[in-house]
Structure 1
Amino acid sequence: MPLSIKHKKLSTKDLLARSLYQLIEQKAFDKITVYHILEKAGVSRRTFYRYFSSKEKLMDYCLTCLIDEYYQEKKKFFNAKRSQEVFQVTLEFMYQKRRFLRSLIQSGHYDLFASKFNDNSVVIYKNFGLPWSLSGELNTRDLDYVSKGLIGAYINIIKFWLIKEEPDAPEIVAKDIALLFSSIPNYFQNYHPKD
Protein backbone atom coordinates (compact mmCIF):
# COMPACT_ATOMS: atom_id res chain seq x y z
CA MET A 1 0.00 0.00 0.00
CA PRO A 2 1.47 3.38 -0.97
CA LEU A 3 2.50 5.51 2.00
CA SER A 4 0.01 8.33 1.29
CA ILE A 5 -2.96 5.90 1.18
CA LYS A 6 -1.76 4.15 4.34
CA HIS A 7 -1.33 7.53 6.07
CA LYS A 8 -4.81 8.66 4.97
CA LYS A 9 -6.34 5.41 6.24
CA LEU A 10 -4.59 5.82 9.58
CA SER A 11 -5.52 9.47 9.90
CA THR A 12 -9.20 8.75 9.11
CA LYS A 13 -9.28 5.93 11.67
CA ASP A 14 -7.59 8.17 14.21
CA LEU A 15 -10.01 11.02 13.45
CA LEU A 16 -12.94 8.69 14.10
CA ALA A 17 -11.32 7.39 17.31
CA ARG A 18 -10.66 10.94 18.56
CA SER A 19 -14.24 11.90 17.76
CA LEU A 20 -15.63 8.95 19.71
CA TYR A 21 -13.25 9.70 22.58
CA GLN A 22 -14.46 13.31 22.74
CA LEU A 23 -18.10 12.24 22.59
CA ILE A 24 -17.61 9.74 25.42
CA GLU A 25 -16.19 12.54 27.55
CA GLN A 26 -19.58 14.24 27.16
CA LYS A 27 -22.04 11.34 27.37
CA ALA A 28 -22.36 7.59 27.83
CA PHE A 29 -21.22 5.28 25.04
CA ASP A 30 -24.73 3.77 24.73
CA LYS A 31 -26.17 7.23 24.04
CA ILE A 32 -23.77 7.82 21.14
CA THR A 33 -24.89 6.84 17.67
CA VAL A 34 -22.87 6.37 14.51
CA TYR A 35 -24.54 9.57 13.30
CA HIS A 36 -23.07 11.49 16.27
CA ILE A 37 -19.62 10.15 15.41
CA LEU A 38 -20.01 11.08 11.73
CA GLU A 39 -21.12 14.58 12.65
CA LYS A 40 -18.23 15.07 15.09
CA ALA A 41 -15.61 13.66 12.70
CA GLY A 42 -17.04 15.31 9.60
CA VAL A 43 -16.96 12.10 7.56
CA SER A 44 -19.57 10.23 5.58
CA ARG A 45 -21.36 7.06 6.65
CA ARG A 46 -19.66 5.26 3.79
CA THR A 47 -16.23 6.36 5.06
CA PHE A 48 -17.06 5.20 8.58
CA TYR A 49 -18.11 1.73 7.39
CA ARG A 50 -15.04 1.47 5.19
CA TYR A 51 -12.97 1.28 8.38
CA PHE A 52 -15.33 -0.01 11.08
CA SER A 53 -18.30 -2.35 10.93
CA SER A 54 -19.88 -0.84 14.07
CA LYS A 55 -19.37 1.74 16.78
CA GLU A 56 -18.25 -1.14 19.04
CA LYS A 57 -15.38 -1.90 16.63
CA LEU A 58 -14.48 1.79 16.69
CA MET A 59 -14.56 1.68 20.50
CA ASP A 60 -12.15 -1.26 20.45
CA TYR A 61 -9.80 0.72 18.19
CA CYS A 62 -10.18 3.80 20.41
CA LEU A 63 -9.15 1.76 23.47
CA THR A 64 -6.21 0.27 21.54
CA CYS A 65 -5.06 3.81 20.76
CA LEU A 66 -5.37 4.71 24.44
CA ILE A 67 -3.23 1.72 25.48
CA ASP A 68 -0.69 2.61 22.76
CA GLU A 69 -0.56 6.16 24.12
CA TYR A 70 0.02 4.70 27.58
CA TYR A 71 2.98 2.70 26.20
CA GLN A 72 4.50 5.99 25.05
CA GLU A 73 4.86 6.86 28.74
CA LYS A 74 7.39 4.04 29.07
CA LYS A 75 10.43 6.33 29.19
CA LYS A 76 8.92 8.10 32.22
CA PHE A 77 8.82 4.75 34.01
CA PHE A 78 12.52 4.27 33.40
CA ASN A 79 13.26 7.71 34.89
CA ALA A 80 11.36 6.91 38.08
CA LYS A 81 13.59 6.31 41.10
CA ARG A 82 10.99 5.08 43.60
CA SER A 83 7.93 2.86 43.32
CA GLN A 84 5.69 5.82 44.19
CA GLU A 85 7.01 7.66 41.10
CA VAL A 86 6.25 4.65 38.89
CA PHE A 87 2.66 4.58 40.12
CA GLN A 88 2.42 8.34 39.72
CA VAL A 89 3.33 8.12 36.00
CA THR A 90 0.35 5.84 35.41
CA LEU A 91 -1.96 7.81 37.64
CA GLU A 92 -1.11 11.11 35.96
CA PHE A 93 -1.85 9.53 32.59
CA MET A 94 -5.18 8.15 33.86
CA TYR A 95 -6.00 11.46 35.54
CA GLN A 96 -5.57 13.26 32.21
CA LYS A 97 -8.04 10.76 30.73
CA ARG A 98 -10.39 10.90 33.71
CA ARG A 99 -13.43 12.35 31.92
CA PHE A 100 -13.29 9.59 29.33
CA LEU A 101 -12.63 6.83 31.89
CA ARG A 102 -15.23 8.18 34.32
CA SER A 103 -17.82 8.11 31.55
CA LEU A 104 -16.92 4.47 30.84
CA ILE A 105 -17.25 3.64 34.54
CA GLN A 106 -20.62 5.38 34.88
CA SER A 107 -22.03 3.75 31.75
CA GLY A 108 -20.84 0.27 32.73
CA HIS A 109 -18.22 0.06 29.95
CA TYR A 110 -15.07 0.33 32.05
CA ASP A 111 -14.68 -3.43 31.71
CA LEU A 112 -13.89 -2.89 28.02
CA PHE A 113 -10.92 -0.75 29.05
CA ALA A 114 -9.92 -3.14 31.86
CA SER A 115 -10.12 -6.09 29.47
CA LYS A 116 -7.95 -4.31 26.89
CA PHE A 117 -5.45 -3.43 29.61
CA ASN A 118 -5.55 -7.03 30.89
CA ASP A 119 -4.88 -8.35 27.39
CA ASN A 120 -1.65 -6.36 27.52
CA SER A 121 -0.76 -7.18 31.13
CA VAL A 122 2.15 -9.50 30.28
CA VAL A 123 3.69 -6.86 27.99
CA ILE A 124 3.26 -4.19 30.66
CA TYR A 125 4.66 -6.46 33.37
CA LYS A 126 7.70 -7.49 31.33
CA ASN A 127 8.59 -4.13 29.82
CA PHE A 128 7.75 -1.43 32.30
CA GLY A 129 10.03 -2.42 35.20
CA LEU A 130 7.20 -2.21 37.68
CA PRO A 131 8.13 -2.09 41.35
CA TRP A 132 6.30 -5.32 42.16
CA SER A 133 7.99 -7.40 39.44
CA LEU A 134 9.29 -10.72 40.66
CA SER A 135 12.93 -11.54 40.17
CA GLY A 136 13.92 -14.53 38.09
CA GLU A 137 12.25 -16.17 35.13
CA LEU A 138 8.58 -17.06 35.26
CA ASN A 139 6.98 -19.65 33.01
CA THR A 140 4.20 -18.43 30.71
CA ARG A 141 1.38 -19.66 32.95
CA ASP A 142 2.82 -18.05 36.10
CA LEU A 143 3.60 -14.83 34.25
CA ASP A 144 0.02 -14.67 32.99
CA TYR A 145 -1.47 -15.12 36.48
CA VAL A 146 0.96 -12.73 38.19
CA SER A 147 0.62 -9.99 35.58
CA LYS A 148 -3.18 -10.22 35.33
CA GLY A 149 -3.58 -10.33 39.11
CA LEU A 150 -1.39 -7.32 39.77
CA ILE A 151 -2.52 -5.25 36.81
CA GLY A 152 -6.15 -6.18 37.55
CA ALA A 153 -5.83 -4.97 41.14
CA TYR A 154 -4.26 -1.76 39.90
CA ILE A 155 -7.00 -1.18 37.29
CA ASN A 156 -9.62 -1.74 39.99
CA ILE A 157 -7.97 0.88 42.22
CA ILE A 158 -7.99 3.32 39.29
CA LYS A 159 -11.72 2.67 38.82
CA PHE A 160 -12.42 3.30 42.52
CA TRP A 161 -10.33 6.50 42.37
CA LEU A 162 -11.73 8.01 39.17
CA ILE A 163 -15.40 7.40 39.91
CA LYS A 164 -15.19 9.98 42.69
CA GLU A 165 -16.66 13.39 41.99
CA GLU A 166 -13.36 15.02 43.03
CA PRO A 167 -10.57 12.42 42.72
CA ASP A 168 -7.48 12.93 44.89
CA ALA A 169 -4.36 14.22 43.16
CA PRO A 170 -2.28 11.50 41.44
CA GLU A 171 0.68 11.98 43.80
CA ILE A 172 -1.51 11.30 46.85
CA VAL A 173 -2.98 8.11 45.39
CA ALA A 174 0.48 7.00 44.16
CA LYS A 175 1.79 7.23 47.71
CA ASP A 176 -1.11 5.11 49.01
CA ILE A 177 -0.68 2.50 46.28
CA ALA A 178 3.08 2.31 46.81
CA LEU A 179 2.43 1.70 50.51
CA LEU A 180 -0.13 -1.00 49.70
CA PHE A 181 2.07 -2.86 47.22
CA SER A 182 5.17 -2.61 49.41
CA SER A 183 3.28 -4.17 52.33
CA ILE A 184 2.27 -7.29 50.35
CA PRO A 185 5.69 -9.03 50.48
CA ASN A 186 5.97 -8.31 54.22
CA TYR A 187 2.59 -9.89 54.84
CA PHE A 188 3.46 -13.09 53.01
CA GLN A 189 6.92 -13.35 54.57
CA ASN A 190 5.28 -13.40 57.97
CA TYR A 191 2.31 -15.56 56.95
CA HIS A 192 2.37 -19.06 58.39
CA PRO A 193 -0.87 -20.94 57.76
CA LYS A 194 -1.98 -23.25 60.52
CA ASP A 195 -1.66 -26.92 59.67
Structure 2
Amino acid sequence: MGRKKNSSDFLKECIADALFILLRTKSIESITVREITELANVSRITYYRNFTSKENVIEFKLDKLMTEWIEKQPQKESASAHELSIRFFQFFYSIRDIVQTLIRANLSLLLLNRLILKFNDINTADSSEYYRQIFISFGLCGIILSWMDTGMKESPEEMGRIISRKFFPAPESEL
Protein backbone atom coordinates (compact mmCIF):
# COMPACT_ATOMS: atom_id res chain seq x y z
CA MET A 1 0.00 0.00 0.00
CA GLY A 2 2.85 2.39 0.84
CA ARG A 3 4.40 1.94 -2.59
CA LYS A 4 1.09 2.71 -4.35
CA LYS A 5 0.69 5.87 -2.23
CA ASN A 6 4.22 7.02 -3.10
CA SER A 7 3.61 6.32 -6.78
CA SER A 8 0.33 8.22 -6.70
CA ASP A 9 1.94 11.18 -4.91
CA PHE A 10 4.75 11.21 -7.46
CA LEU A 11 2.29 11.27 -10.37
CA LYS A 12 0.26 14.04 -8.73
CA GLU A 13 3.46 16.04 -8.25
CA CYS A 14 4.34 15.55 -11.93
CA ILE A 15 0.90 16.83 -12.94
CA ALA A 16 1.15 19.83 -10.61
CA ASP A 17 4.65 20.71 -11.79
CA ALA A 18 3.53 20.49 -15.42
CA LEU A 19 0.59 22.81 -14.75
CA PHE A 20 2.83 25.38 -13.05
CA ILE A 21 5.25 25.27 -15.99
CA LEU A 22 2.37 25.93 -18.38
CA LEU A 23 0.96 28.70 -16.17
CA ARG A 24 4.15 30.68 -16.66
CA THR A 25 3.23 31.30 -20.29
CA LYS A 26 -0.50 30.61 -20.62
CA SER A 27 -3.72 31.42 -18.82
CA ILE A 28 -5.36 28.62 -16.86
CA GLU A 29 -8.36 28.75 -19.19
CA SER A 30 -6.22 28.14 -22.26
CA ILE A 31 -4.29 25.21 -20.78
CA THR A 32 -5.73 21.85 -21.76
CA VAL A 33 -5.65 18.62 -19.79
CA ARG A 34 -3.90 17.10 -22.80
CA GLU A 35 -1.06 19.64 -22.53
CA ILE A 36 -0.70 18.95 -18.80
CA THR A 37 -0.66 15.18 -19.19
CA GLU A 38 1.77 15.26 -22.12
CA LEU A 39 4.19 17.49 -20.24
CA ALA A 40 3.81 15.39 -17.06
CA ASN A 41 4.17 12.19 -19.09
CA VAL A 42 1.03 10.67 -17.54
CA SER A 43 -2.25 9.47 -18.98
CA ARG A 44 -5.49 11.42 -18.96
CA ILE A 45 -6.90 8.61 -16.81
CA THR A 46 -4.24 9.34 -14.18
CA TYR A 47 -5.14 13.02 -14.27
CA TYR A 48 -8.88 12.41 -13.85
CA ARG A 49 -8.34 9.71 -11.22
CA ASN A 50 -6.56 12.28 -9.03
CA PHE A 51 -8.04 15.67 -9.90
CA THR A 52 -11.39 17.20 -10.77
CA SER A 53 -10.05 20.50 -12.13
CA LYS A 54 -6.90 22.50 -12.82
CA GLU A 55 -7.66 24.54 -9.70
CA ASN A 56 -7.73 21.27 -7.75
CA VAL A 57 -4.20 20.55 -9.02
CA ILE A 58 -3.01 23.93 -7.68
CA GLU A 59 -4.74 23.31 -4.34
CA PHE A 60 -2.99 19.94 -4.08
CA LYS A 61 0.42 21.54 -4.67
CA LEU A 62 -0.17 24.32 -2.13
CA ASP A 63 -1.52 21.88 0.48
CA LYS A 64 1.45 19.57 -0.01
CA LEU A 65 3.98 22.38 0.34
CA MET A 66 2.27 23.83 3.43
CA THR A 67 1.89 20.43 5.08
CA GLU A 68 5.55 19.57 4.48
CA TRP A 69 6.60 22.94 5.91
CA ILE A 70 4.40 22.58 9.00
CA GLU A 71 5.75 19.07 9.64
CA LYS A 72 9.34 20.37 9.49
CA GLN A 73 8.72 23.11 12.05
CA PRO A 74 10.26 22.56 15.47
CA GLN A 75 7.61 21.57 18.00
CA LYS A 76 8.53 24.42 20.29
CA GLU A 77 5.46 25.66 22.14
CA SER A 78 7.33 28.72 23.33
CA ALA A 79 8.16 30.09 19.87
CA SER A 80 7.62 33.84 19.86
CA ALA A 81 5.48 35.68 17.34
CA HIS A 82 8.73 37.12 16.01
CA GLU A 83 10.21 33.63 15.35
CA LEU A 84 6.97 32.36 13.82
CA SER A 85 6.69 35.42 11.56
CA ILE A 86 10.23 34.96 10.27
CA ARG A 87 9.65 31.24 9.59
CA PHE A 88 6.39 32.07 7.81
CA PHE A 89 8.09 34.54 5.45
CA GLN A 90 11.04 32.20 4.92
CA PHE A 91 8.59 29.53 3.81
CA PHE A 92 6.86 31.82 1.32
CA TYR A 93 10.21 33.05 0.07
CA SER A 94 11.18 29.41 -0.57
CA ILE A 95 8.08 28.93 -2.77
CA ARG A 96 8.19 32.38 -4.36
CA ASP A 97 8.22 30.99 -7.92
CA ILE A 98 4.91 29.24 -7.28
CA VAL A 99 3.33 32.26 -5.56
CA GLN A 100 4.53 34.66 -8.26
CA THR A 101 3.14 32.32 -10.93
CA LEU A 102 -0.24 32.42 -9.16
CA ILE A 103 -0.09 36.24 -8.96
CA ARG A 104 0.66 36.57 -12.69
CA ALA A 105 -2.11 34.08 -13.51
CA ASN A 106 -4.64 35.98 -11.34
CA LEU A 107 -5.04 32.89 -9.15
CA SER A 108 -3.88 34.27 -5.81
CA LEU A 109 -7.32 33.64 -4.28
CA LEU A 110 -6.42 29.95 -4.37
CA LEU A 111 -3.49 30.73 -2.08
CA LEU A 112 -5.78 32.63 0.29
CA ASN A 113 -8.24 29.71 0.40
CA ARG A 114 -5.45 27.25 1.20
CA LEU A 115 -4.07 29.53 3.94
CA ILE A 116 -7.49 29.78 5.56
CA LEU A 117 -8.04 26.02 5.44
CA LYS A 118 -4.52 25.11 6.57
CA PHE A 119 -3.87 27.60 9.35
CA ASN A 120 -7.30 28.23 10.86
CA ASP A 121 -9.80 26.32 12.89
CA ILE A 122 -12.77 26.86 10.60
CA ASN A 123 -14.90 24.63 12.79
CA THR A 124 -14.58 26.75 15.92
CA ALA A 125 -17.86 27.46 17.68
CA ASP A 126 -16.56 30.85 18.81
CA SER A 127 -17.57 33.21 16.01
CA SER A 128 -15.33 36.04 17.22
CA GLU A 129 -12.30 33.68 17.13
CA TYR A 130 -13.28 32.46 13.67
CA TYR A 131 -13.45 36.03 12.33
CA ARG A 132 -10.17 36.93 14.05
CA GLN A 133 -8.48 34.02 12.26
CA ILE A 134 -10.01 35.01 8.92
CA PHE A 135 -8.87 38.61 9.43
CA ILE A 136 -5.31 37.47 10.12
CA SER A 137 -5.33 35.11 7.11
CA PHE A 138 -6.54 37.81 4.72
CA GLY A 139 -4.01 40.27 6.12
CA LEU A 140 -1.07 37.87 5.91
CA CYS A 141 -2.04 36.76 2.42
CA GLY A 142 -2.30 40.39 1.31
CA ILE A 143 1.11 41.18 2.80
CA ILE A 144 2.72 38.13 1.16
CA LEU A 145 1.22 38.96 -2.22
CA SER A 146 2.18 42.66 -1.99
CA TRP A 147 5.71 41.78 -0.83
CA MET A 148 6.18 39.43 -3.77
CA ASP A 149 4.47 41.70 -6.28
CA THR A 150 6.81 44.56 -5.35
CA GLY A 151 9.95 42.47 -5.79
CA MET A 152 10.59 41.29 -2.22
CA LYS A 153 12.86 44.22 -1.39
CA GLU A 154 12.84 43.17 2.26
CA SER A 155 14.34 39.84 3.32
CA PRO A 156 12.08 37.23 4.96
CA GLU A 157 13.76 38.12 8.25
CA GLU A 158 12.96 41.83 7.79
CA MET A 159 9.36 40.97 6.91
CA GLY A 160 9.07 38.76 10.01
CA ARG A 161 10.41 41.63 12.13
CA ILE A 162 8.00 44.15 10.57
CA ILE A 163 4.97 41.91 11.03
CA SER A 164 5.81 40.80 14.55
CA ARG A 165 6.46 44.38 15.73
CA LYS A 166 3.38 45.89 14.10
CA PHE A 167 0.83 43.15 14.72
CA PHE A 168 2.18 41.12 17.64
CA PRO A 169 3.99 43.66 19.80
CA ALA A 170 6.12 42.20 22.58
CA PRO A 171 8.33 43.78 25.21
CA GLU A 172 11.50 45.16 23.62
CA SER A 173 13.59 42.67 25.59
CA GLU A 174 12.13 39.80 23.53
CA LEU A 175 13.02 41.34 20.16
| Common topology (TM > 0.5) | yes
Aligned to 1:176: 162
2:92 to 73, 91, 94: 94
Aligned-residue identity in percent? 24
Residues 181, 73 of structure 1: alpha-carbon distance in 2 compared, 3 angstrom cutoff: farther
> Which structure 1 residue ranges, 4+ long, deviate > 6 Å from structure 2?
none
* Structure 1, unpaired ranges of 5+: 125-137, 185-195
C-alpha separation in 2, matches of 1:167 and 1:92: 14
Aligned to 2:116: 118
Q: CA RMSD in A?
A: 2.8
Structure 1 stretch 97-106 or stretch 166-175: which is displaced more? 166-175
Aligned to 2:67: 68
* Structure 2, unpaired ranges of 5+: 171-175
Deviation digits for residues 16-71 of structure 1, max 9, x if unmatched? 223334444x3355253323322321112222222223322222222221321232
Query: Offset of 1:13 from its aligned partner?
Result: 1.9
Residues 52, 13 of structure 1: alpha-carbon distance in 2 compared, 3 angstrom cutoff: same
Deviation digits for residues 121-145 of structure 1, max 9, x if unmatched? 3259xxxxxxxxxxxxx85323211
TM-score w.r.t. structure 1 length? 0.72
Amino acid at match of 1:72: E
Give yes or no for contact 2:120–2:133 (8 Å, CA) kept in 1.
yes
Amino acid at match of 1:56: E
Give yes or no for contact 1:20–1:62 (8 Å, CA) kept in 2.
no
Residues 5, 175 of structure 1: alpha-carbon distance in 2 compared, 3 angstrom cutoff: closer
Amino acid at match of 1:170: P
Residues 176, 166 of structure 1: alpha-carbon distance in 2 compared, 3 angstrom cutoff: closer
Amino acid at match of 1:33: T
Aligned to 1:7: 6
Query: Offset of 1:169 from its aligned partner?
Result: 1.1
Residues 106, 141 of structure 1: alpha-carbon distance in 2 compared, 3 angstrom cutoff: same
Residues 47, 160 of structure 1: alpha-carbon distance in 2 compared, 3 angstrom cutoff: same
Structure 1 stretch 41-50 or stretch 95-104: which is displaced more? 41-50
Give yes or no for contact 2:82–2:164 (8 Å, CA) kept in 1.
yes
1:72 aligns to what SS in structure 2? helix
Which of structures 1 and 2 has the bigger CA Rg?
A: 1
- 2:26 corresponds to 1:34: no
TM-score w.r.t. structure 2 length? 0.79
Residues 73, 140 of structure 1: alpha-carbon distance in 2 compared, 3 angstrom cutoff: farther
